[in-house]
Amino acid sequence: MLNTVARNSKNLKTKYGNLRNIVSLAEPKQPKVVTDIPGPRSKELLSRLRNIQQTGSVQLFADYEKSIGNYLIDVDGNILLDTYTQISSVPLGYNHPALLNTFKNEKNIKTLINRPALGVFPGENWPEKLESILQKVSPGLPNLTTMMCGSCSNENAYKNMFIAYQTKRRGENDFSKEELESSLINTPPGAPRLSILSFKNAFHGRTLGALSTTHSKAIHKLDFPSFDWPIADFPKYQYPLHQHVAENSKEDDRCLEQVEDLIEKYKKLNNSVAGVVIEPIQSEGGDNEASPEFFQRLQKICKSNEVYLLIDEVQTGGGPTGKFWCHEHFNLESSPDVVTFSKKMQLGGYFHTKELSPKLPYRVFNTWMGDPGKLLMLETIINVANDQNLLKNVRETGDHLKKNLIEIESEFSHLINSTRGRGTFLAINAKTTQLRDHILDKLKQRGIQSGGCGDNAIRLRPALIFETKHADIFLDSFRNVLIELNK
Amino acid sequence: MLNTVARNSKNLKTKYGNLRNIVSLAEPKQPKVVTDIPGPRSKELLSRLRNIQQTGSVQLFADYEKSIGNYLIDVDGNILLDTYTQISSVPLGYNHPALLNTFKNEKNIKTLINRPALGVFPGENWPEKLESILQKVSPGLPNLTTMMCGSCSNENAYKNMFIAYQTKRRGENDFSKEELESSLINTPPGAPRLSILSFKNAFHGRTLGALSTTHSKAIHKLDFPSFDWPIADFPKYQYPLHQHVAENSKEDDRCLEQVEDLIEKYKKLNNSVAGVVIEPIQSEGGDNEASPEFFQRLQKICKSNEVYLLIDEVQTGGGPTGKFWCHEHFNLESSPDVVTFSKKMQLGGYFHTKELSPKLPYRVFNTWMGDPGKLLMLETIINVANDQNLLKNVRETGDHLKKNLIEIESEFSHLINSTRGRGTFLAINAKTTQLRDHILDKLKQRGIQSGGCGDNAIRLRPALIFETKHADIFLDSFRNVLIELNK
- Return residues 316-375 of B near A (CB < 8 Å): 342-343, 346, 357-368, 373
Q: Does residue A343 carry a catalytic annotation?
A: yes
Across the interface, which of B65, B163, B228 has its CB nearest the CB of A223? B163
Across the interface, which of A107, A158, A159 has its CB nearest the CB of B65? A107
ipTM: 0.95
Q: For the sheet with B231-232, list strands across it.
A: B143-147, B348-352, B338-341, B308-312, B273-278, B195-199, B231-232
- The arrangement of secondary structure in B1-104, i.e. its CATH architecture, is Alpha-Beta Complex (3.90)
The string of pLDDT tens digits covering residues B261-312 is: 999 999 999 999 999 999 999 999 999 999 999 999 999 999 999 999 999 9
User: What are the domain boundaries of chain A?
Assistant: 2-101+388-486, 118-370
B75 touches chain A (CB under 8 A): yes
Provide CATH code, domain A118-370: 3.40.640.10
Q: Please list every residue in chain B whose beta carbon sits closer than 8 Å to the beta carbon of residue A223.
A: 159, 162-163, 165-167, 183, 190-192, 194
What are the Cα distances from residue B483, in Å, to A136, B197, B432, B439, B452?
Answer: 52, 44, 17, 11, 20
Q: HSE (CB half, 13 Å, CA atoms) of A353? A: 13
Going by their DSSP bridges, the two strands B425-430 and B416-422 should be labelled as antiparallel
The string of pLDDT tens digits covering residues B337-378 is: 999 999 999 999 999 999 999 999 999 999 999 999 999 999
CA distance B169 to chain A (A): 11
Name which of B207, B284, B378 to mutate to probe chain A: the one with the most chain A Cβ atoms within 10 A of its Cβ: B207
Residue A349, pLDDT > 60, answer yes
pLDDT band at B10; cut points 50, 70, 90: very low
Of A21-30, A357-366, A386-395, B84-93, give the lowest mean pLDDT range: A21-30
Residue A16, pLDDT > 90, answer no
% of chain A with per-residue pLDDT over 90: 94
Res A14: pLDDT: 47
To the question of domain A2-101+388-486 being in CATH 3.60.130.10, the answer is no
**Cβ atoms B82, B71 nearer than 8 A:** yes
Res A172: pLDDT: 82
Distance, in Å, from the CA atom of A90 to the CA atom of B234, rounded to the nearest integer, reads 45
Distance, in Å, from the CA atom of B451 to the CA atom of B441, rounded to the nearest integer, reads 10
**CA torsion B2→B3→B9→B11, rounded to 10°?**
-30
Q: Which residue in A has a C-alpha nearest to residue B366's C-alpha? A: A206
Res A487: pLDDT: 85
Q: Does residue A203 carry a catalytic annotation?
A: yes
What are the Cα distances from residue B414, in Å, to A162, B286, B410, B418?
Answer: 43, 19, 9, 12
pLDDT band at B442; cut points 50, 70, 90: very high
Class of domain B118-385: alpha beta
Q: Does residue B294 carry a catalytic annotation?
A: no
Residue B439, classed as helix, strand or coil, is helix
Percentage helix, strand, coil for chain A under 3-state DSSP, each rounded to 5: 45, 15, 40
In degrees and rounded to multiples of 5, residue B130 shows phi and psi of -60, -45
Distance, in Å, from the CA atom of A317 to the CA atom of A327, rounded to the nearest integer, reads 9
